[in-house]
């Protein structure tokens, strides 16, 4: 990160990648943005289109279609490439095909001399984050998955809708796998410091309904429009900003556990302090017994899916 100008290298300019680039430009988060994709014409077109909006952007950003060589001086490489989740597929169904793609990408990035931070957005994000760490040889703190950052945002939104409170005043987390085994941490959910469990003690069915709608949100969106991209793009920009501006913000990202929550050698979504150096510290919430069991189950599903590829 010796470069005085913040550079983000985006690999993969599909729905998520291009939405991320658009949101990044709109918020003026970085000075340089390089787009990298096998589909050269698509990425060149995106770069042209984005540059034409610079007159309306909050700050100047240099945007161009580039190559892996441009990763050498990048502060962040954001991975949005890979196969998309199709209707009826789970995120874990994508493991084999995306591991192959990612090994080639990460090898090319590291050969450029890259020494920054990876952000992984492609699914299954927890397993691919572990893969990027293994393939890159970088410290665990400098490989970060988007984890449950979007699930947590969805959770806060639906709670806010129920209580008619601004989403930004809802404090709650979804942790675990970004997928079917994720879990809500109701024991630490509050609005303005007031525990939600104290507010809706007689509405367990409503709590369950809110969580199910969070967990299954991607399936509903995919069935309607083919893919999810706006929400995750905004989440990725939030993570990018936290890193580049050295915020020490707490975000629910996929990061490496080395004993936290009783788990080891796994990337999984948990609250963590994020700054210019990557993951500074994992925040270990005091889960209740049910939450502990759910989290352990989520981690075990990830390990069982991942182990044949890394420990076989």
- Cβ atoms of 235 and 146 closer than 8 Å: yes
190-191/170-171 β-pairing: antiparallel
Q: Which pLDDT belongs to residue 1?
A: 45
Q: Which pLDDT belongs to residue 2?
A: 46
Report helix, strand or coil for 127.
helix
Q: Which pLDDT belongs to residue 16?
A: 96
Report helix, strand or coil for 247.
coil
DSSP state of 120: E
The count of C-alpha atoms lying within 13 angstroms of the C-alpha of 179, restricted to the half-sphere facing its C-beta, is 24
Q: Which pLDDT belongs to residue 246?
A: 98
Residue 58 vs residues 55, 155, 234, 244, 291: alpha-carbon distances, Å: 9, 30, 16, 17, 42
Q: Which pLDDT belongs to residue 205?
A: 82
Average confidence (pLDDT) per 10 residues, the chain, 312 residues:
80 97 97 96 97 96 97 98 76 83 97 98 96 98 98 96 94 96 96 86 80 92 92 98 98 98 98 98 97 98 93 70
- Nearest-angstrom CA–CA distance, 243 and 275: 5
Question: pTM above the 0.85 mark?
Answer: yes
- Nearest-angstrom CA–CA distance, 81 and 121: 8
CB count within 10 Å of CB 211 equals 20
Rounded to the nearest 5°, which phi and psi values hold at 86? -95, 160
Helix 15-27 × helix 230-244 angle, to 10°: 50
Structure tokens at 120: 């992984």
Active site (catalytic) residues? 178
Classify burial at 34, counting beta carbons within 10 Å of its beta carbon; exposed 0-12, middle 13-18, buried 19 or more. Answer: buried
Rounded to the nearest 5°, which phi and psi values hold at 223? -65, -30
């Amino acid at each position: 990160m010796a470069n005085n100008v913040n550079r983000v290298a985006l690999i993969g300019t599909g729905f998520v990648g291009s939405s991320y680039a658009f949101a990044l430009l709109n918020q003026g988060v970085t000075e340089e943005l390089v787009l990298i994709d096998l589909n050269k014409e698509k990425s060149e077109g995106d770069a042209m289109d984005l540059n034409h909006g610079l007159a309306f952007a909050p700050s100047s950003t240099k945007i161009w279609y580039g190559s892996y060589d441009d990763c050498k001086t990048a502060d962040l490489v954001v991975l949005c490439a890979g196969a998309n989740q199709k209707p009826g597929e789970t995120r874990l169904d994508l493991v084999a095909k995306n591991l192959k793609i990612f090994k080639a990408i990460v090898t090319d990035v590291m050969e450029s001399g890259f020494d920054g931070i990876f952000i992984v957005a492609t699914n299954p994000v927890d397993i691919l984050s572990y893969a990027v760490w293994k393939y890159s040889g970088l410290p665990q703190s400098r490989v970060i998955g988007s984890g449950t950052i979007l699930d947590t945002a969805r959770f806060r939104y639906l709670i806010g809708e129920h209580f008619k409170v601004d989403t930004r005043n809802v404090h709650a987390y979804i942790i675990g796998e970004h997928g079917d085994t994720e879990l809500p941490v109701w024991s630490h959910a509050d609005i303005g410091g007031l525990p939600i469990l104290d507010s809706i003690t007689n509405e367990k069915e409503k709590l369950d309904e809110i969580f199910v709608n969070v967990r299954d949100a991607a399936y509903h969106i995919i069935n309607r429009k083919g893919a999810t991209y706006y929400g995750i793009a905004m989440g990725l920009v939030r993570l990018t900003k936290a890193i580049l501006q050295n915020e020490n913000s707490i975000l629910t990202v996929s990061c490496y556990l080395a004993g936290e929550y009783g788990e080891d050698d796994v990337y999984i979504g948990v609250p963590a302090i994020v700054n210019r150096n990557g993951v500074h510290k994992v925040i270990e919430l005091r889960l209740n017994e049910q939450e502990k069991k759910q989290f352990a189950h989520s981690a075990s599903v990830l390990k069982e899916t991942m182990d044949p590829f890394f420990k076989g």
